[in-house]
C-alpha cells in the first residue's frame, strides 16, 4: 500500500535504516506483508547495467540516468506495484531521489530531465532521508561488505563527490532545488542524522514512521479500495472449510450467504447502533472510557467487520486481517475486543486449550450482519455518521439515499464490496446499480 524509500549519501547508513524500518512496520502495523528491496537491483539485468555504468563513470550522466530509469520502471511495475495492491508495505533502499541527486544535481544532467525519464515510475509515499558527515561516510564505505563482495570502486566514492552528494540532498530535500512533478506529491522526513548508536537511530526512525502512518495518508500508487477489496476476498477464502465455535449457541447461526437472516440492512444498523450507544453510555468502567461513542467509527466497524469475516482468532491474527486500510493499534484492538466481550451478544473470548495463554475471539452470530454491513458501506462510514448526527430523528431507512447523493463515487465501491460479501441472502444477487443498492438497503432485495 505504501512505498517507503530510504535515501542519503553512500555510507550514511541507508541499509541499516532500511532493515530497521522493515522491522518497525512488521512489529507495529497491520500490512499484509513488508517487502524490502533496493535500487539499482543487483539481481536483475537492467539493474546490473546501472551498476556497471557507475563503476567508473565512463558512461556519463545521460546513459547512467537512462539505465537507472529503465531498471526503476521495470522494478516499479513488475515487482513493487503488485505488492502495494495486495496491501504490502515496500521499503526500498534508494529510489527516484537518488537519480535526481546523483544524475540530476551532481551529474549536471538537470533535475527536470531526470524526472521526465522516471515519470511513470512509482512515487514514494514517504522518503526517509538519512544523513551523516561525509568523512564518516567514506570510512564506512571503505569497510563495507559491499565493497568486499563486489570489489567495486565507484567514481563518486571520493571526498569531493561525497561533499557534493550530501549538498545535493540538502538542496533537494531542503527546498533550494524545487522537487519536480510528480515526485513532489510524496512526503520527505529528515534529515535523520546517523551520528549515534543503533538504538538512537532506530528511535528516530520509529518516530518518523509512526508519525506518517498514524495520519492514515492516502497512498499515491494504489487506491485504498483496491487494497481493501483484496484483503476482504483473501479473508473469506482463508476461512473456507473452517467453522465457528460449537459453544456459540445464539441464533441465528453464522453464515457466509444468509447473514442478513430476515432483517433489512437499515434495520440492522438502527438496532445495532442503538444497542452500542446505550451500552457505552450506561457503563462507567475504566476499560470503556476510551471507547468511541460513535458506533460507525473506524475502530468499531474495523474490528466488528473483520471479525464478521473470520472464525475464532487470536488478536495478532485479527490484526493481520485488518490490513492497512482498517488498521487499528494493537492496544486499542485489545481494548475494544474486551469491551465487546463484556457486552452481551457481541464477542465471545475464550482459551482454546487448557493452560493456553492466548485467548481467541469470535463474533456472535447476531452481530455478523452489522459487521458485514459496516464493511460493505465502509467508504460511506463518515458520511453516514455525519448524517445521523444532524438527522437524529430521521429513519435509518432514508440514510443511504441521503449520503449517496453527495458521494456518488462511493456507489461503485459499495457494490464491489457486496459482490465479495454477498447480499446477505442466498436467493438474492448482490446489487449492481445505484438503484439496486438502495433497494438492497431498504428491503434486503434488489
Helix (H) or strand (E) holding 391: none
If asked whether residues 216 and 321 sit together in one domain, one would say no
Residues sharing a CB contact under 8 Å with residue 240, sequence separation 6 or more, in sequence order:
none
pTM of the complete model: 0.88
Task: Give residue 347's region: left, alpha or beta (phi > 0; psi -120 to 50).
Answer: beta
Q: What length does the chain have?
A: 446
If asked whether residues 424 and 336 sit together in one domain, one would say yes
If asked whether residues 68 and 188 sit together in one domain, one would say yes
If asked whether residues 395 and 381 sit together in one domain, one would say yes
Contact yes or no for 44/68 (Cβ under 8 A): no
CA distances to 13, 272, 295, 427 from 267, rounded to whole Å, are: 57, 8, 15, 19
| CA count, 13 A, side-chain hemisphere, 208 | 26
Q: pLDDT by residue (tens digit) across 23-40?
A: 999 999 999 999 999 999
Per-residue confidence (pLDDT) for residue 252, from 0 to 100: 55
Domain boundary among 188, 207, 222: 222
User: Closest by alpha carbon to 123, among 213, 183, 35, 188?
Assistant: 183
In angstroms, the CA 329 to CA 319 distance is 8
What is the total count of domains within the chain?
Answer: 2
Residue 34 three-state SS: strand
Select, from the ranges 140-154, 226-240, 293-307, 343-357, the one with the highest average predicted confidence (pLDDT). 293-307
Strand boundaries in 81-236, DSSP class E: 88-93, 126-131, 187-193
If asked whether residues 214 and 309 sit together in one domain, one would say no
In angstroms, the CA 395 to CA 391 distance is 8
Contact yes or no for 23/78 (Cβ under 8 A): no
- What single-letter DSSP state applies at residue 254? P
pLDDT band at 289 (very low <50, low <70, confident <90, very high): low
Domain boundary among 172, 202, 222: 222
If asked whether residues 240 and 201 sit together in one domain, one would say no
Per-residue confidence (pLDDT) for residue 359, from 0 to 100: 84
Residue range of the domain that includes 344: 225-443
Residues sharing a CB contact under 8 Å with residue 386, sequence separation 6 or more, in sequence order:
none
If asked whether residues 397 and 274 sit together in one domain, one would say yes
If asked whether residues 215 and 347 sit together in one domain, one would say no
445 phi, psi to nearest 5 deg: -130, 170
Segment 417-446 shows an average pLDDT of 94
Per-residue confidence (pLDDT) for residue 253, from 0 to 100: 66
Could you tell me the CATH number of the domain that includes residue 43?
3.40.50.300
If asked whether residues 168 and 282 sit together in one domain, one would say no
In this model, does residue 270 exceed pLDDT 50?
Answer: yes
If asked whether residues 397 and 280 sit together in one domain, one would say yes
If asked whether residues 204 and 247 sit together in one domain, one would say no
Q: What is the CA angle 68-71-76, rounded to 5? A: 120
In angstroms, the CA 203 to CA 220 distance is 26
Contact yes or no for 35/88 (Cβ under 8 A): yes
Gap between the terminal Cα atoms of the chain:
34
Domain boundary among 222, 246, 280: 222
In this model, does residue 286 exceed pLDDT 70?
Answer: no
If asked whether residues 257 and 173 sit together in one domain, one would say no
Q: pLDDT by residue (tens digit) across 320-345?
A: 999 999 999 999 999 999 888 886 56
User: Closest by alpha carbon to 14, among 41, 37, 46?
Assistant: 37
pLDDT band at 150 (very low <50, low <70, confident <90, very high): very low
Amino acid at each position: 500500500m505504501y512505498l517507503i524509500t530510504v535515501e542519503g549519501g553512500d555510507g550514511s547508513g541507508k541499509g541499516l535504516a532500511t532493515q530497521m524500518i522493515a522491522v518497525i512496520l512488521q512489529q507495529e502495523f497491520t500490512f499484509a506483508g513488508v517487502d524490502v528491496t533496493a535500487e539499482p537491483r543487483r539481481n536483475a539485468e537492467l539493474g546490473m547495467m546501472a551498476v556497471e555504468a557507475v563503476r567508473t563513470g565512463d558512461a556519463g550522466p545521460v546513459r547512467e540516468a537512462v539505465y537507472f530509469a529503465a531498471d526503476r520502471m521495470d522494478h516499479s511495475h513488475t515487482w513493487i506495484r503488485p505488492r502495494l495492491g495486495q496491501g504490502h508495505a515496500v521499503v526500498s533502499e534508494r529510489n527516484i531521489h537518488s537519480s535526481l541527486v546523483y544524475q540530476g544535481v551532481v551529474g549536471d544532467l538537470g533535475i527536470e530531465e531526470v524526472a521526465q525519464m522516471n515519470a511513470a515510475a512509482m512515487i514514494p509515499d514517504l522518503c526517509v532521508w538519512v544523513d551523516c558527515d561525509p568523512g564518516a561516510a567514506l570510512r564506512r564505505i571503505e569497510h563495507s561488505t559491499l565493497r568486499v563482495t563486489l570489489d567495486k570502486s565507484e567514481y563518486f566514492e571520493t571526498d569531493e563527490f561525497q561533499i557534493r552528494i550530501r549538498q545535493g540532498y540538502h538542496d533537494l530535500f531542503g527546498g533550494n532545488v524545487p522537487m519536480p512533478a510528480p515526485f513532489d506529491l510524496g512526503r520527505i522526513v529528515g534529515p535523520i542524522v546517523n551520528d549515534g548508536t543503533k538504538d538512537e537511530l532506530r528511535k528516530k526512525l520509529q518516530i518518523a514512521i509512526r508519525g506518517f502512518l498514524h495520519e492514515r495518508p492516502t497512498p499515491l500508487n494504489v487506491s485504498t479500495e483496491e487494497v481493501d477489496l483484496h484483503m476482504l476476498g483473501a479473508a473469506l477464502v482463508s476461512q473456507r472449510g473452517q467453522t465457528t465455535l460449537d459453544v456459540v449457541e445464539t441464533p441465528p447461526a453464522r453464515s457466509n450467504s444468509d447473514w442478513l437472516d430476515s432483517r433489512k440492512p437499515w434495520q440492522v444498523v438502527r438496532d445495532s447502533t442503538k444497542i452500542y450507544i446505550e451500552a457505552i453510555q450506561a457503563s462507567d468502567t475504566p476499560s470503556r472510557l476510551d471507547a468511541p461513542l460513535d458506533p460507525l467509527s473506524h475502530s468499531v466497524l474495523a474490528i466488528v467487520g473483520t471479525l464478521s469475516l473470520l472464525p475464532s482468532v487470536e488478536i495478532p491474527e485479527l490484526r493481520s486481517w485488518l490490513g492497512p486500510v482498517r488498521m487499528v493499534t494493537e492496544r486499542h484492538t485489545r481494548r475494544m475486543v474486551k469491551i465487546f466481550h463484556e457486552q452481551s451478544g457481541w464477542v465471545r473470548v475464550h482459551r482454546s486449550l487448557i493452560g493456553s495463554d492466548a485467548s481467541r475471539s469470535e463474533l456472535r452470530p447476531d452481530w455478523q450482519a452489522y459487521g458485514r454491513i459496516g464493511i460493505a458501506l465502509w467508504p460511506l462510514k463518515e458520511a453516514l455518521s455525519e448524517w445521523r448526527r444532524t438527522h437524529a430523528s430521521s429513519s435509518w431507512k432514508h440514510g443511504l439515499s441521503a449520503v449517496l447523493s453527495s458521494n456518488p463515487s462511493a456507489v461503485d465501491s459499495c457494490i464491489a464490496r457486496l459482490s465479495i460479501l454477498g447480499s446477505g441472502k442466498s436467493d438474492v444477487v448482490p446489487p449492481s446499480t445505484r438503484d439496486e443498492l438502495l433497494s438492497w438497503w431498504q428491503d434486503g432485495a434488489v
